[in-house]
């Protein structure tokens, strides 16, 4: 690090000692090599500039798509991937934890990006990464990190709903959506069917974002919600 270097010199990883004169000489050599490279590539640069002119519009400025068009194309691509089933339209992990804050801490420790919502029937983590099998990977990671905690993953892919029980990183029984919705938080059905946007659900409920926590903060949340006994713990 820069703070570890003294005015007289520094020691590299091989144990060799560099003073200011050595460093200046090395930088001078680098600059000479760079100048030689620039001169040898002069003709290529001229050719590249000629090519770049064809990419410009009549005013001589590079053509760029408006932000609105880029946003539309990104939204269209997401919608297309959702219709093809390559990207889930929505995914959530349903637990029996009494605290969304605790679930957000577990998600942070499991490297899962999610918004966690409180509900008397159990906290729910709404997943952000919906590409490919990312929802399944999230449920696997969460139930691996929190060993012994069951969780139900519900996913909407191409308007097909699936609900799967995960325990200790393994997928288990699947549930019919009506059975799941009858025992889950009321907003889960609206979210998974696309009836109510997540923003509207968040406006009415207390939520915690795993992205707002770092590793130490997540551990502090666990300490707050966990009573440590003699070799075991319980979640309140």
Report the pLDDT value the prediction gives residue 9, as an integer from 0 to 100: 46
Please count the structural domains in the chain.
2
| Sequence-distant (≥ 6) Cβ neighbours of residue 164 within 8 angstroms | 136, 139, 152, 153, 154, 171, 172, 173, 174, 175
Report the pLDDT value the prediction gives residue 120, as an integer from 0 to 100: 92
Enclosing domain of residue 45 = 19-54
Q: From the first residue on, what is the mean pLDDT of each consecutive set of 10 residues in the chain (236 residues)?
A: 45 47 51 51 48 45 55 53 67 96 97 96 96 96 94 94 96 91 92 92 93 95 72 42
* Shared domain check, 218 and 148: yes
Residue 231 included in any domain: no
What gap in Å lies between CA 164 and CA 142, rounded to an integer?
14
* Shared domain check, 152 and 42: no
* Shared domain check, 103 and 177: yes
The number of CA neighbours under 13 Å toward the Cβ of 139 is: 25
Residue 1 included in any domain: no
Report the pLDDT value the prediction gives residue 54, as an integer from 0 to 100: 34
* Shared domain check, 211 and 109: yes
Report the pLDDT value the prediction gives residue 75, as an integer from 0 to 100: 56
What gap in Å lies between CA 77 and CA 83, rounded to an integer?
10
> Helix 100-109 vs helix 215-225: angle between axes, to the nearest 10 degrees?
140
Residue 61 included in any domain: no
Residue 165 included in any domain: yes
Reference 102, options 195, 233, 12; nearest CA is 233
Residue 11 included in any domain: no
* Shared domain check, 215 and 123: yes
Residue 127 included in any domain: yes
Report the pLDDT value the prediction gives residue 177, as an integer from 0 to 100: 86
What gap in Å lies between CA 136 and CA 170, rounded to an integer?
10
* Shared domain check, 95 and 44: no
- Does residue 152 contact residue 162 with C-beta atoms inside 8 Å? no
């Amino acid at each position: 690090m820069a703070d570890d270097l003294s005015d007289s010199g520094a020691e590299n990883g091989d144990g060799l000692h560099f003073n200011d004169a050595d460093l200046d000489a090395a930088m001078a050599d680098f600059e000479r090599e760079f100048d030689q490279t620039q001169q040898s590539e002069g003709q290529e640069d001229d050719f590249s500039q000629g090519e770049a002119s064809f990419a410009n519009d009549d005013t001589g400025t590079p053509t760029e798509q408006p932000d609105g068009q880029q946003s539309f194309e990104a939204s269209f691509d997401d919608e297309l991937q959702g219709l093809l089933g390559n990207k889930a339209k929505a995914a959530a992990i349903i637990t029996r934890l009494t605290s969304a804050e605790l679930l957000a801490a577990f998600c942070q420790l499991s490297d899962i990006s999610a918004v966690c919502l409180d509900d008397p029937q159990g906290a729910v983590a709404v997943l952000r990464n919906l590409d490919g099998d990312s929802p399944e990977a999230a449920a696997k990671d969460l139930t691996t990190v929190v060993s012994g905690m069951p969780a139900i993953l519900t996913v909407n892919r191409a308007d097909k709903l699936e609900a799967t029980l995960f325990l200790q990183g393994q997928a288990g029984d699947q549930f019919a959506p009506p059975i799941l919705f009858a025992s889950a938080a009321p907003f889960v059905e609206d979210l998974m069917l696309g009836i109510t946007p997540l923003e509207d659900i968040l406006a009415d409920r207390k939520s915690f974002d795993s992205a707002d926590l770092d590793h130490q903060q997540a551990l502090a949340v666990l300490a707050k919600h966990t009573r440590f006994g003699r070799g075991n713990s319980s979640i309140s």
